[in-house]
Amino acid sequence: MTDPTLFIRALAFAAEKHKAQRRLDAEANPYINHPIALTRVLSVEGGVTDTEVLCAALLHDTIEDTDCTADELRQEFGAAITAIVLEVTDDTSQPKPVRKQAQIDKAAGASTGAKLVKLADKICNLRDVLRSPPPGWSYQRKQDYFVWAGKVLVGLRRRRGRNPSPGIDSGGHDVRVCSLLHRGRHWQSAVWARRHR
């Protein structure tokens, strides 16, 4: 990581923005645990050291789920980090099915940084659904989530206008993205393994 001070600022900013929020898991954990988990997946499991990507992971839900605006984020953290956050931000004015389809449709055209953040987000969410699903989620709802997440993962593996390929076309993150994709597919398939025990 080239700028730990920026990372700490992003962590503090995200913690402040998400301070009143809880995850939907059974324990209702503090929301900030989720962005922190993304940075762990990226840095420890994926070997990502790019400060902008790690900061974007910490901030990835601030525009979508808090009162934070793109202008505020840009002023605090610059255009590059904000651009990644905007790429992974859902349009909350749309109904949920439209937003879910948009994630699938936009995945192939995302920047390398956005693909890394989205991959880590899906991996963390899949793990949470397996470990501690939201109360009231039926087996079918969990299964549907895994199927949809798998479609997003396939899209993230694609390059613009091409079939799935093992690499991503810029940034030198090919091996890291492939490693994270493998983990994402592993977690997506785990639900099927559990069903057949």
Q: What is the mean pLDDT of residues 135-148?
A: 93
- Element containing residue 166 per DSSP (H, E): none
The DSSP annotation for 96-144 comes to: HHHHHHHHHHHHTTS-HHHHHHHHHHHHHHHHHHHHSPPTT--HHHHHH
Domain positions in the chain are 4-195
User: What's residue 137's pLDDT?
Assistant: 94
User: Domain 4-195 maps to which CATH number in 1.10.3210.10, 1.10.1040.10, 3.40.109.10, 3.30.70.3280?
Assistant: 1.10.3210.10
pLDDT of residue 181: 56
Check residue 157 and give its pLDDT: 85
- Catalytic member of 64, 72, 76, 174: 64
Cα separation of 6 and 62, whole Å?
A: 16
Give start and end residues of each alpha helix (H) in the chain.
Answer: 4-17, 33-40, 51-59, 62-65, 70-87, 96-107, 112-131, 139-157, 174-195
Phi and psi at residue 30, in whole multiples of 5°?
Answer: -55, 140
Model confidence at 173, pLDDT cuts 50, 70, 90, reads: very low
Q: Which residues pair with 22 in a beta bridge?
A: 30
**pLDDT tens-digit readout, 59-82:** 999 999 999 999 999 999 999 999
Residue the block writes with tokens 């997506």: 188
Asked if residue 22 has pLDDT above 70, the reply is yes
Average pLDDT, the chain: 86
Residue 117: closest CA among 41, 193, 175: 41
For the question of residue 64 being annotated catalytic, the response is yes
Percent pLDDT > 70 in the chain is: 80
Active site residue 90: no
Catalytic residue among 65, 72, 76, 174: 65
- The whole-number average pLDDT for the span 106-134 is 94
